[in-house]
Amino acid sequence: MSLATPAAAAPAAAPDPVLEAVNKRYQEGLAARDAGDFVTAAESFTAAYKDIPPKSREIRASVLFDLVDARRNAFAEGEGPGQICECERLLTDYLTEVKELLGARAEKLPDTRKARKLLAEIRKQIAAVKAENPALDCAATTVERAAPEPEAPPEPPPAPVGPAQAPAGPDPAQARRARNLVIAGSVTTGLGGVLLGVMAGGLVIGRRAEQDGQSLTLKALASGTPLSEDDPELQALVRRGHTGNRLAITGSVLATVAVAAGVTMLVLGLRAKKGRPARAALVPGGTGIALQF
């Protein structure tokens, strides 16, 4: 959602430098988020959020939700529990602020309900982190100074592998298995390529829905009538964006599995054709297994 001032402002009115700075920082946050730099995006959203007055409640809530989303993504990418602790502080302060501003009427607002739902989800995440790291104290943990992560246990030494035995001679059954592996690998790899296309299509749908939503919001702000969260056209764009995201995620996961399996079968089939039978071996650490054919 853009924070631009309405385009229909009076010609004689000078632009508000504070709002211009807020909008600039918000746009910088969007650009960083689209580039996958969630820490920089969160810092830009934070700078914009601090300068939005409490009376601009809907705009302030919109930036807050983008800020929380960026912090959660940064935490998911390993930036430390300080990111998720900061989300809890931001949402708690926002709910207190809205209650002081609107009283009991605040509980009926969609933004308030959304903030409470996000806060419940984040507290579950914090509880899960504390289960693994009991020393975590969100009150003393910030985004600048994350709590120490527990040390990972040392990996066990790899099991000794005996020398491979050379095949006694050509084996018709092995040649047949090799041919079947090559065929299955080719088909599976091709399916992975199709699923990559599904992923790309989902990304395009999601991105266009986001752009259309921003355009719709800008037009509404320019006309002086900000959109409601329940606006049918806005809800349709949200549903389209969710559909694109689901296609992208599903296509990405299935394509990765299909390509990995297809390439593995192709390699095993080609090796078997050359008289190099595959053997079963557990990858050290339990992260994978090679099957014998």
pLDDT digits (tens, 9 = 90+) for 15-38: 678 788 888 999 999 999 999 999
For range 132-143, the mean pLDDT: 87
Q: What is the pLDDT of residue 249?
A: 92
Residue 99: is it exposed, middle or buried by C-beta count within 10 angstroms (0-12/13-18/19+)? middle
List, for residues 226-237, the tens digit of each pLDDT value: 767 778 887 887
List, for residues 74-105, the tens digit of each pLDDT value: 999 998 899 999 999 999 999 999 999 888 88
Alpha-carbon distance of 137 to 134, in angstroms, equals 8
Ordered by start, the domain boundaries in the chain are 12-148, 172-293
List, for residues 235-247, the tens digit of each pLDDT value: 887 888 889 888 8
Q: What is the pLDDT of residue 287?
A: 45
The CATH H-level superfamily of 12-148 is: Tetratricopeptide repeat domain (1.25.40.10)
Q: What is the pLDDT of residue 160?
A: 66
Alpha-carbon distance of 198 to 142, in angstroms, equals 40
Q: What is the pLDDT of residue 277?
A: 53
Q: What token pair was written down for 166?
A: 């050379």
For residue 271, pLDDT over 50 is answered with yes
Q: 240-253 in b/e burial notation, b at 16+ Cβ within 10 A?
A: bbeebeebbeebbe
Q: What is the pLDDT of residue 286?
A: 47
For residue 136, pLDDT over 70 is answered with yes
